[in-house]
């Protein structure tokens, strides 16, 4: 990828987010997902999670922010994702997304990334790979 944010295999970026009750409520408002796992403490306590968990979309959303804001940066979108959830994110957790460049296409603004999201206790909650495309707008001036 060319431009001010040229990428090389091995380059890494991270981004963190505290998963608050307010953020969970905002996500539910946007998506309409009001699963009791996210809002009903008694229901959640009776599951293997044992307590309220955040929407998976919040966990993956931090990856969207990472690639759009940090690396590869503005104008970047996902082409594909192959990731799996490996542990829950609980309301009140702080999660950190990490992306590492694996490959960069020689002639297109495309790269593959290894992605991971961890909780503050170090447990991995999501892992996988993704392909990204970066739209580069030429300066008309």
Beta-sheet strand order (sheet of 76-85) = 12-18, 94-104, 110-119, 124-134, 76-85
Lowest mean pLDDT among 41-55, 72-86, 127-141: 127-141
The per-residue pLDDT for range 15-73, each reduced to its tens digit, is 999 999 999 999 999 999 999 999 999 999 999 999 999 999 999 999 999 999 988 88
Residues with Cβ within 8 Å of 103's Cβ and at least 6 positions away in sequence, in order, are 9, 111, 112
Give the whole-number percent of the chain exceeding pLDDT 70: 92
Residues with Cβ within 8 Å of 65's Cβ and at least 6 positions away in sequence, in order, are 15, 17, 97
Q: How would you label 39-72 residue by residue, b for 16+ Cβ within 10 Å and e otherwise?
A: beeeebeeeeeeebbbbeebbbbbbbebbbebbb
DSSP H/E element including 14: strand 12-18
Average of pLDDT values for 130-140?
80
The per-residue pLDDT for range 15-31, each reduced to its tens digit, is 999 999 999 999 999 99
CATH domain 12-134 topology: Thiol Ester Dehydrase; Chain A (3.10.129)
């Amino acid at each position: 990828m060319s431009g001010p944010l040229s990428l090389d295999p091995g380059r890494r970026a991270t981004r963190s987010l505290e998963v608050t009750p307010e953020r969970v409520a905002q996500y539910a408002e946007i998506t309409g997902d009001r699963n009791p796992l996210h809002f009903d403490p008694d229901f959640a306590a009776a599951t293997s999670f044992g307590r309220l968990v955040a929407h998976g979309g919040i966990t993956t959303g931090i990856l969207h922010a990472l690639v759009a804001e940090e690396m590869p940066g503005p104008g970047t979108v996902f082409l594909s994702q192959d990731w799996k959830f490996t542990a829950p994110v609980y309301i009140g957790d702080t999660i950190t997304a990490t992306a590492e460049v694996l490959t960069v296409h020689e002639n297109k603004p495309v790269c593959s990334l290894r992605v991971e999201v961890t909780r503050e206790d170090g447990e991995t909650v999501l892992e996988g790979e993704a392909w990204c495309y970066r739209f580069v707008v030429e300066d008309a001036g």
